[in-house]
Structure 1
Amino acid sequence: MQLSGQAFKVLNLLGLAEGALALALPTEHARHRSELTGRVFLDAPAGAGIRAATGWPLCGVNRAAYAQYLLDACKDRGISVHWGKKFVGLREDGELVYAKFEDGSEVQGDLLVGADGIHSTVRDTLFGKTPAEYTGLVGIAGYTPYTVTMRASPPITVEQVWGDGCHYICLPMLEDRYMWAVNMPEDAAMIEDWRTVRPATDDKVKEMLQGLPCYDWGGGVGEVIKGTTELVKFGLYLRPIAPIWHRGRSVLLGDAAHPTTPFLGQGANQATEDVYHLVRLLLAHSPLTAESINKAYTEYAAVRMDRVRRTIEQTKAEGNLRMIKGREACLEREELLARGMGTDTWKIILEMISGPFTGESEI
C-alpha cells in the first residue's frame, strides 16, 4: 500500500510518523512506459518535489506490517481491540448508541463510527443496501525477492508499464523485495477473490502467473513476475459515494462513505484525512450532545465530500485507461498518456496528498 503526506501529517500528531516511516521505503523516481512501442511517458524525479510540497515523502509499505504497527500503538495506549465480532445492527437510546453483534452482545458509546470498508454493514444499516459493482478489472499482486541480478538501486523507482489489456506497476520495498501488481480486464463470471496470500508453489498460482499477459514482457517485467513467491488476487469493485454520511449518532468514514479503487494509492490516505477532520470537528463542537454531534458530522461531510469526489473521479479515469485492449486503442491511449504525464498530472497528485491541513494543525 501507499502512504502519502496527509497520512504522515496525522500520524505525526499522534507521535507515530517516525515509526511508520521506518516501515516504508520512500519513492524517489517515477517511470511510465509502453510495452507495445517502448515509448516513455514519464521518467523523472518524484520524491523531492512531493516532499517539498507536503513536507513528507511518498512511500510504499507492507499493509500487514502497517496494520500491526497501528494495532501495537493502540495496545500501548490502552485502547481495547476486540476480535471475532460481526456487526449486525445498531440502536439509539437517549444519549447513547449501541452496536449489536452476531453473537448477541452489544457495546455502547456516545457515537458510532462505521469504518468497515466498501461492503460496509454500518452503511447498509443506516441507509439501506447499495451493492458494490464490479469494475471489470481484477488486481493480482505479488512479492518477488531480490536476486544477485535483480535488485533495486538508487534512485528508488516506481515503474508503470502499459500494455494491451494489461497494466503493470512495480515498486521496491524493504526486506529486499519488490511488490508488483497487475490490473487486467476479466469477465465477472471468472472473478476469484483470494482472501489470503498464496505461495507461488501452489499449482493454481503457477498456472495463473503463466497466463498473465505480462509474463514474458521485457525490461525486467517478466523476470519479476517469474520470481514471485507470494500472490493475491481480487476483483475490483466500486460503490457510489454515500450521499449522506451520518444519521443520529452514527457516521461513516473511509471506504464505507466513499469507496475508491486502488489505482492512485489513496484509500488509506483519504480515510486518514477523514479521521483528522472528524476528530477536529467533534472537538470544536464539544461537549457531545445530539445537536453538537449533528453539527460536527454535517461539517465533516461538507469538508470532505468535494475532495473525495475529485479523487475518485481521477481513479476511475485511471482505471478506464487500464482496461483498454487492441493495438489501435492502445496507441490512442499512448498519445493521451504522453500529453497527461506532465505538470497537470502532478498538480492532481499534489492536490490529493496535500491535506488535511497546511501550516499548523487545528488539533
Structure 2
Amino acid sequence: MTKPTTIAVIGAGLGGAAAARLLQKAGYATKVFEQAPAFSRLGAGIQLGPNVMKVAAVMGIEEQANAIGCHPDFWFSRDAVTGEYLSRIPLGKSAVERFGNSYITIHRGDLHQLIIDTLDPDTLHFGKTLVDIEQTPDEVILHFADGTTDRATHVIGGDGIDSKLREKLLGPEEPTYSGWVAHRALIRGEDLKKYDLEFEDCVKWWSKDTHDESVDRHMMVYNTKADRSEYYYVTGVPEPAWNHGTSHVKSSPAEMREAFHDYHPIVQALVDETKEVTKWPLYERKPQAVWHQDRVVLLGDACHPMRPHMAQGAGMAIEDAAMLVRCLDEVGAADYQQAYELYRLNRFERTSRVQKVSHNNTWLRHDEDPSWVYGYDVFNVPLQQPGKCAA
C-alpha cells in the first residue's frame, strides 16, 4: 500500500538508487531524477563488505550480486617492493560466519544495474539536471535545466560531491582537493595467464611507511567477476594540484610505470597489460553538522565525501539510504524533521570515523579487527535517540 507522501530522489548513483529501491519497497511513492542521459556501465570496481551486503539482501539483489561478484578469501596487504605480507584479513567463509554476510568484489556498473533494475521504470527520469528548488510549507518545487518542474513532499539529495541540494542548504563551497589522484584500469584476466605470477583476488600494495605523503602511494587490486575474467586496479598517488577542470583525464601506461617503477614484478605485469587507464582527483570534506533543512535531506557524498582508501564510500551512502528509510518508518513521514534528525544522529559518528580513517589511509595495512565496519547491521543497530549530541 502506497504511503501518503511523495519523495523525490535527486541522483541515481548507488546511494540514490538504493534509497529509491528501499523507499519503493517500503511503500513510499518515489520518483528519481538523474542528470545523466541514460544508464551506463562505468568502468570501475567496487568492494562490498558484509555491512553493505546486508542492505543488498533487503533490496533483493544479494543472490544476484553473490553470483556475479568474486568472493576473495582474504584481504592481503603487501609491501610494494619485497612483496612481504603486511596483513592477511580473513574474508570468504570467515566473513559470513563472523559478520553475517559475504564480502564480494564486483564491477561497479554491474552492481548499479542490479539496483536500477529493481526500480519502477516509470519513476526513473534521466536527463534531469537540478538547477534550483523552492520550499513551501507543504512541498518542494524542483526546477530542472531543461525548463521542466516537478513537485514532491520530500526531497533526498543523493547527487554527489557537487550536490546542488547541498549548495542550497549550506551555500556554495568547493570540496577540498586531497592532493591525491586515483588511476583506474581494467585488465582482461586472460591477458595475465602468460605470467608465472599469482594475481590474488584482493590485495593492496603499499609503499614504504615513511609518513611522508609526497612519496607515498599504493595500488589496490581485485577481481570484479566470479570467473576472474576482469581484474581491476585503483591507485592512490600524490599530485600537488588538479588543474584539468574535468572530473577525470586519460592517463597512460608510461605514467603508471613512472609512478610505480620500483614496485613488485606483479605490479609491473599489471602495468604492462594496461591498455587504457584514467586518472581521477580525490576530493573530500570535513564532517558537516547540517544534513537536512525543512523538507530536504542529504546522503552519501552530498554530505560526507571521502577518499576511497577504505573501499567504503559507496557503502556509507547505501547504509545512509537504509538508515534514512528506517527512521522515516520509525517516526513517520509526517514528522519528517524528527525523522531526519534521528537519521543524522545515527549516521554522523560512523561516517565521520570512516572519513577520518579513509583520509589517514591506514585501513587494513596491518592485521586489525575490521568488525566495527563489517559487523555493522544498519537495520538492527540500536537507534540513538535525540537529546544525545552526535556532532
TM-score, scaled to structure 2: 0.76
Give the helix-richer structure, 1 or 2.
1
- Establish whether residue 48 from structure 1 lines up as the match of residue 93 from structure 2: yes
Q: Which residue identity lines up with residue 41 of structure 1 in the other structure?
A: L
TM-score, scaled to structure 1: 0.82
Q: Which residue, out of 114, 130, 135, partners 2:157?
A: 114
Contact 1:142/1:179 (8 A) holds in 2 = yes
- Establish whether residue 140 from structure 1 lines up as the match of residue 183 from structure 2: yes
CA drift of 1:28 comes to 0.9
Q: Distance in 2 between matches of 1:88 and 1:105?
A: 10
CA drift of 1:104 comes to 2.1
- Establish whether residue 272 from structure 1 lines up as the match of residue 318 from structure 2: yes
Tell me the SS of whatever aligns to 1:188: coil
RMSD, aligned α-carbons: 2.7
CA drift of 1:360 comes to 9.6
2:263 maps to: 217
Count matched residues. 327
Q: Distance in 2 between matches of 1:232 and 1:206?
A: 10
Tell me the SS of whatever aligns to 1:94: coil
How much identity, in percent, do the aligned residues show?
Answer: 24
Structure 1 residues 360, 245: closer, same or farther in 2, change over 3 A? Answer: closer
CA drift of 1:184 comes to 0.9
2:106 maps to: 61
CA drift of 1:123 comes to 0.3
Structure 1 residues 114, 152: closer, same or farther in 2, change over 3 A? Answer: farther
Q: Distance in 2 between matches of 1:151 and 1:55?
A: 36
Q: Unaligned 5+ residue runs, structure 1? A: 199-203, 323-336
Q: Distance in 1 between matches of 2:285 and 2:196?
A: 38
Q: Which residue, out of 206, 209, 224, partners 1:162?
A: 206
Q: Distance in 1 between matches of 2:380 and 2:154?
A: 30
Q: Which residue, out of 297, 312, 316, partners 2:359?
A: 316
Contact 2:61/2:114 (8 A) holds in 1 = no
Question: Which consecutive aligned stretches of 4+ in structure 1 deviate over 4 angstroms post-superposition?
Answer: 150-154, 189-196, 358-362
CA drift of 1:99 comes to 1.6
Structure 1 residues 236, 244: closer, same or farther in 2, change over 3 A? Answer: same
CA drift of 1:208 comes to 2.7
* Equivalent residues in 2 for 1:257-336, closer than 5 Å: 257-286=303-332, 288-289=333-334, 292-318=335-361
Cα shift readout 1:225-275 (whole Å, capped 9, x = no counterpart): 110133221010112222111111100011111111111111111111111
CA drift of 1:193 comes to 4.8
Structure 1 residues 296, 59: closer, same or farther in 2, change over 3 A? Answer: same
Please, which moves more after superposition, 246-255 or 77-86? 77-86
Q: Which residue identity lines up with residue 69 of structure 1 in the other structure?
A: L
Cα shift readout 1:70-128 (whole Å, capped 9, x = no counterpart): 22221xx3452111111111112232112211222111111000011111111001111
1:2 maps to: 47
Q: Which residue, out of 250, 255, 260, partners 1:208?
A: 255
